[in-house]
Amino acid sequence: SGPPAKEVKMRADVDLSKNKPVIAQVISEHLKMFETDKDDHELAEEFVNTDPVVGGNADALALLVQKAYRGPRVPSRLMDKDDENMGKKISLVREGADDILYQIDFKGKLSSAAINLFQDGDVVIRILPNLVFQFLPRRIVTALPSEYISMKDDKLVSNWTDSLSNARKKTNKGILGESDISSDVYGGEKLITHVDYYIINEGSESEEVIPAADIIHIKYNGYGRMVEDSKGRWCFNVWSVPPMRRLKKTMLWKANAMINDILWRDAMPPREHHKLDLSMFSPDLYDGESPEARVLAAQTAAMKVITNYIKHISHKAVDTGYVTDLTTEINVIEARSQSYADPNELLMQLDQNIHATSGVPRGAMYGEGSGAYASELLVSNYAGLRAEFIGDRIARPFEDWLKKYMKMNYPKTLSSKVIDRLRLKFRLILPRDVREIAQGVNLLMQSMIVDVSQILETVGLDTMSGEQFEKHLELIGKMSEAKGKEKDMFGGVEKKSHKNDASAVSRKQETPDTRASKEDSPDQP
């Protein structure tokens, strides 16, 4: 069921006629932001879809979040060390979770959810219940439009001060629970602090009620937020305030500055003024029963001549001249003042607000840097933290669903204890960061203040089980042994020690007479 039809009301000065000139088309696109009936969700969507800086930042943020995804992880250091099969159990859970996430295209949903969180603050995904594994790709459908979703129905509760028993008498749907009507009061109305049901297209013929158990609700910052929903009801700890909300004034300011600049640049080019001699079209020279009739006849004849003149000169090439009679005068009209404040600097300042809101560095978008390595490193680290934060907000609700699904479908194959420890890991590691991470790992290993598991978690990798750690130590031993043989083969420490032993033996065999003969010989150094 799609959203209800909506009548678009635009400002009176917006030209909706066809075959508009280029400037009118450009201005009409910018004026869409000023439509009087647009709510915050539609306005944010307009910003993301039409502004290249906002849309580019949203795409870059989604790319960073997707790049930061490291897959399902099970911290083995938290598991039972005495269980000999723990490593195998962890591997089975990881492989099963990875397969399920691949089937539902989690990485694709991850990037889309990142954009929606930036734009709307919430992502509501419907789960189709009671489907077996082979139908898993269709188990999670496309995210529902949050602007058409609410938690209450005006038909169910007409007066928020009614008691719960009276509210139940007004409906046979039975979708209200004790948690739906809070005792808290905000502005004279009851607060919605808990959600048991989601409603699509509330109050319309296509209204649909969905239990909260069949919904994955991803929140950007929904905790401790007082937000008014699409039906004018106040909700607490339910909806989020999207980052795009902070850019509303900035984007309207930017659109207004661009419209003014377009109008000014269109008015500034020199215009030709063609003065035609229309003295022969005097009303006195035309017949008519009244003065008005004679004026109309003169105007008709004059317009015919003017239209014919325009028709012949409008297609002139820029390098051709005009051929007119002696009385036609052609002048050039220029703007009285050429001074104008260039809006580019203002637009750059407004774009800085966009980058500050999205967390995507300007250098990542335009390839420009501040020149200082330390500042670039700091900005890059902040972008990584922002991507990991967004990924973590998306992953937590998916983790809950994934654990329930795995326990329900694989109760005997997979360990429930291991499933409870399952995490979706996010750590942004760009190609240029690998060298610095390797150096950091080397320093940590030499310091001996952390173990291997802690180092692996630091760089975003899965920790080792006891069996894996033993294999790792065995591999290190083989590498050390091979390195020692290599040194011996190419004159390493071992060969040098043999040489020193031979020198010592030769010194022992020297006598005082031989040493004296060496000292007396002029050829000896």
- Quickly list DSSP for 417-458: HHHHT-EEEE----GGGHHHHHHHHHHHHHHTSS-HHHHHHH
Residue 460 forms part of a structural domain: no
Residues 259 and 374 reside in one and the same domain: yes
Residue 325 forms part of a structural domain: yes
Residues 422 and 371 reside in one and the same domain: yes
Distance CA 506, CA 524 (A): 17
Residue 128 forms part of a structural domain: no
Residues 174 and 278 reside in one and the same domain: no
Residues 164 and 304 reside in one and the same domain: no
Residues 214 and 345 reside in one and the same domain: no
pTM: 0.67
435-469 as b/e: b if 16+ CB within 10 A: eeeeeebeebeeeeeeebbebbbebbebbbbbebb
Residue 308 forms part of a structural domain: yes
Residues 251 and 387 reside in one and the same domain: yes
Select from 68, 52, 65 the least CA-distant residue to 116.
65
**Residue 146 is encoded by which pair of tokens?**
């949050």
Distance CA 239, CA 181 (A): 16
Q: Are 453 and 464 in contact (CB under 8 A)?
A: yes
Q: Of 387, 404, 428, which residue sits at a domain end? A: 428
Q: Of 305, 333, 361, which residue sits at a domain end? A: 333
Residues 304 and 376 reside in one and the same domain: no
**Residue 252 is encoded by which pair of tokens?**
């309207």
Residues 35 and 110 reside in one and the same domain: yes
Distance CA 504, CA 508 (A): 6
Residue 502 forms part of a structural domain: no
Q: How many structural domains is the chain composed of? A: 3
Residue 214: domain span:
140-241
Residues 152 and 222 reside in one and the same domain: yes
Residue 199 forms part of a structural domain: yes
Residue 522 forms part of a structural domain: no
Distance CA 282, CA 295 (A): 8
The tens place of each residue's pLDDT in the chain, 525 residues long, gives 444 444 434 444 444 445 566 777 777 777 777 776 778 888 888 888 888 899 899 998 999 999 889 888 887 665 666 666 777 888 888 888 888 888 888 888 899 999 999 998 889 888 876 555 555 555 565 677 777 787 654 333 333 334 333 433 333 333 333 344 444 555 555 677 878 888 888 878 888 888 888 888 999 987 888 888 877 778 888 888 889 888 888 988 888 888 888 888 887 888 888 999 888 899 988 888 899 999 999 999 999 999 999 888 887 777 778 888 888 888 888 877 766 667 788 888 888 888 888 888 777 666 665 556 566 666 677 788 888 899 999 999 888 888 888 888 788 778 888 888 888 988 887 776 777 777 777 777 777 776 666 677 666 666 665 566 677 667 777 777 776 666 555 555 444 444 444 444 444 444 445 444 444 444 443
Residues 252 and 374 reside in one and the same domain: yes
Residues 218 and 107 reside in one and the same domain: no
Length of the chain: 525
Residue 493 forms part of a structural domain: no
Q: Of 281, 307, 333, which residue sits at a domain end? A: 333
Residues 54 and 180 reside in one and the same domain: no
